[in-house]
Chain A
């Protein structure tokens, strides 16, 4: 009798935790469905042309979102080009090279960098970074300005500032995931390399080779962050829907146009257009995050299988 009532409580308990977990899953699905539903008006009105045209004039009812996609992709990829080598370097240093006493403080500092609110990055961007970039652009040699990369006004506001802010914001994310991945590499990998007489860097290369899939996952996670970053970019990029290769030109991103125009939307079609941009942003980050998670999970499952080996080897050395 007692046993029966106990097992009922078991069923109730697992049912309760399970239903809350279901809420979480439904929430993600719900976000996708609601965004689709709300962007139906523009999908019906413009179809694919929404993503093929460049004219964005809400008052005249013209909605072409190509410049925003361009701005998001261009700024994120440039930011990643800067952030990736730095974050991998940081991860290698913390997990492979640094003395044990430095490890915790460094981890704490990079975590702090990730914890600074995006609005604070934006504030700093407006009042510190933009003047600095303006100065830099002023010093820029005239003959280089013929290249399409460096045309445009020298005002500081624009793509370059956005890329720099994004890079700074992405580094802590990529480096902390890369660090986790490196941590998952079994100790035996390092020990065998050392036993063969490898130098420290050669050992690190072997570790990186072992961890390469997870590192790609870490970089993609950073890309997802860069796609979605809103406030800091909105405050420094100049909000100008224009496609340009130039780093000095004011441009726009998908997240920034939503933040800028949503509350002052001209009409329902405008709202719907902004929601559709949000939908595509959702899909983009979904794909990037899903892919990177699968890559990183592959690494952590490997870790589970190899933990005994690592533990054994640690015991053997100590």
Chain B
């Protein structure tokens, strides 16, 4: 009898310890990656990295200014394209929740979220690159936009649903129509959360490489032309990483550090914002 309870307690502790081990095993790679990216990247980052163009092959130095501008442009284009579709479909799903149509849209968003980024690249190549026989920044923006849509749809839906129904009902009771209540009461309360979701989606998308390989392609020169190929940070990091020169590898680590910092800062900001949002809602 006593033995049995002892055995049960010991099993409980052993399984608990195994779970702790799992957490440690999962976090070790994170520590390793952050350590290497920071230690190798920090030495290669300097003012030149942000202000100089890539040097011709074989010359030491130079930077990735064109890729940084390119990443900002392509992500911006993606946002322009994805934000209206994402937010509007999110509102649609939240407001017709439970209906068959809303489920179809939600399902489509989940499927879109699961489609491999490389397949999105192939799709955009087929519709926006091969008909014009030209890699363009615009095509890269479309590819990133497609990847952003489901992320924005999901957060918008969640945020709109978090707004208490009593607020909607109050507005309706005062004589507002549904659309008026949505636009003037529900959306303003959900707005901080939606903006956070958009920022997070941008951060996620900024590091994507696969969909840009054959849409935005790459460009060794300064270009802000939407109808020309453009260089982006992730693709440039990829090119340098698989290249043969030590200086390229050094710059690839620096690029990785910039990418990771961007993602980290955005996630922290978003986390801070949602924490405040939650507090506001529970404080009411």
Q: Does A61 contact B (CB under 8 A)?
A: no
Q: Does A121 contact B (CB under 8 A)?
A: yes
**Min C-beta distance of B223 to chain A, whole Å:** 18
**Min C-beta distance of A159 to chain B, whole Å:** 18
Asked whether B92 lies within 8 Å of A278 as measured between CB atoms, the reply is no
Q: Does B252 contact A (CB under 8 A)?
A: yes
**Min C-beta distance of A282 to chain B, whole Å:** 5
Q: Does B190 contact A (CB under 8 A)?
A: no
Q: Mark A74-111, 1 if CB is under 8 A from B, else 0.
A: 00000000000111111011100100000000101111
Which chain A residues in 137-158 approach chain B with CB under 8 Å? none
Q: How many A residues touch the partner, as a band?
A: 35 or more
- State in angstroms the CA–CA spacing of A127 and B122 once bound together: 29
**Which residues does chain A contribute within 8 Å of B217, judged by CB atoms?**
263
Q: Mark A109-151, 1 if CB is under 8 A from B, else 0.
A: 1111101111111111011100000000000000000000000
**Min C-beta distance of B25 to chain A, whole Å:** 6
- State in angstroms the CA–CA spacing of A278 and B213 once bound together: 15
- State in angstroms the CA–CA spacing of A119 and B217 once bound together: 15
**Min C-beta distance of A256 to chain B, whole Å:** 9
Q: Mark A15-26, 1 if CB is under 8 A from B, else 0.
A: 011101101110
Q: Does A211 contact B (CB under 8 A)?
A: no
Q: Does A250 contact B (CB under 8 A)?
A: no
- State in angstroms the CA–CA spacing of A274 and B271 once bound together: 40
**Which residues does chain B contribute within 8 Å of A118, judged by CB atoms?**
207-210
Asked whether A17 lies within 8 Å of B89 as measured between CB atoms, the reply is yes
Number of residues in B with C-beta < 8 Å to the partner? Answer: 89
Q: Mark B41-76, 1 if CB is under 8 A from A, else 0.
A: 000000000000000000000000000000000000
- State in angstroms the CA–CA spacing of A270 and B37 once bound together: 37
**Min C-beta distance of B121 to chain A, whole Å:** 8
Q: Does B284 contact A (CB under 8 A)?
A: no
Of A63-71, A183-191, A195-203, the one with at least 4 CB within 8 A of chain B:
A195-203
**Which residues does chain B contribute within 8 Å of A57, judged by CB atoms?**
none
**Min C-beta distance of B92 to chain A, whole Å:** 4
**Contact partner, B92, options A21, A86, A124, A281, Cβ 8 Å:** A21
Q: Does B20 contact A (CB under 8 A)?
A: yes
Asked whether A93 lies within 8 Å of B92 as measured between CB atoms, the reply is no
- State in angstroms the CA–CA spacing of A286 and B114 once bound together: 7
Query: Which B-chain residue is minimally distant from A82 (CB atoms)?
Result: B25
Q: Does B111 contact A (CB under 8 A)?
A: yes
Which chain B residues in 68-123 approach chain A with CB under 8 Å? 84-85, 88-89, 91-93, 95-96, 101, 104-105, 107-123
**Which residues does chain B contribute within 8 Å of A262, judged by CB atoms?**
121-122, 125, 213-214
**Which residues does chain A contribute within 8 Å of B96, judged by CB atoms?**
14
Q: Does A269 contact B (CB under 8 A)?
A: no
Of B27-35, B162-170, B191-199, the one with at least 4 CB within 8 A of chain A:
B27-35
Asked whether A231 lies within 8 Å of B36 as measured between CB atoms, the reply is no
Query: Which A-chain residue is minimally distant from B179 (CB atoms)?
Result: A13
**B119, B120, B259 pick with most chain A CB within 10 angstroms:** B119
**A127, A225, A258, A275 pick with most chain B CB within 10 angstroms:** A258
- State in angstroms the CA–CA spacing of A139 and B271 once bound together: 44
**Min C-beta distance of A80 to chain B, whole Å:** 15
**Min C-beta distance of A70 to chain B, whole Å:** 17
**Min C-beta distance of A153 to chain B, whole Å:** 19
Q: Does B276 contact A (CB under 8 A)?
A: no
Q: Does A230 contact B (CB under 8 A)?
A: yes
Asked whether B126 lies within 8 Å of A86 as measured between CB atoms, the reply is no
Give the 9 A-B CB pairs with smallest separation, nearest first: A117-B207, A228-B116, A89-B22, A20-B88, A13-B179, A289-B114, A201-B12, A17-B92, A199-B12
Given contacts A127-B40, A255-B210, A262-B125, 4 further A-B contacts (CB under 8 A): A9-B177, A25-B104, A119-B241, A231-B238
Binding site for A on B (CB under 8 A): 8-9, 11-12, 15-16, 18-23, 25-27, 29-30, 32-33, 36-37, 40, 84-85, 88-89, 91-93, 95-96, 101, 104-105, 107-123, 125-127, 146, 149-150, 153, 177-180, 182-183, 203-204, 206-210, 213-214, 217, 234, 237-238, 241-242, 249, 252-253, 256, 259-260, 263-264, 267, 271
